[in-house]
Amino acid sequence: MTTPATNTLPSFLTLGGAHVVVQPPRYEGGGFRWECLGCDESLTHTYKKHACDGANAHAGRCRSMPRPDGA
């Protein structure tokens, strides 16, 4: 399975090793959302760059570890 490059969004690693993922808008005109899979914090931004910056900043201060259940 190949994924178009345009759909590739970055993910970041927290200090504890959990992932912070950036998700594309879920509907036309929606925002880009980053979500920390370690501590469940999330935020929606209008622009992809802002979401990436937010995800990166969160990853830099979050110490969450990956949850064993993967939820």
Residues 47-66 that bind Zn ion (CB under 5 A): 62, 64
- Shorter beta-carbon distance to Zn ion: residue 9 or 43: 43
Among 32, 33, 38, 54, binds Zn ion (CB under 5 A): 38
> Cα 32 vs. chain centroid, distance in angstroms?
9
Report how far apart, in Å, the C-alpha atoms of 25 and of each of 15, 18, 32, 40, 48 are: 27, 22, 5, 18, 9
| 12 touches Zn ion (CB under 5 A) | no
Binding site for Zn ion (CB under 5 A): 36, 38-39, 41, 62, 64
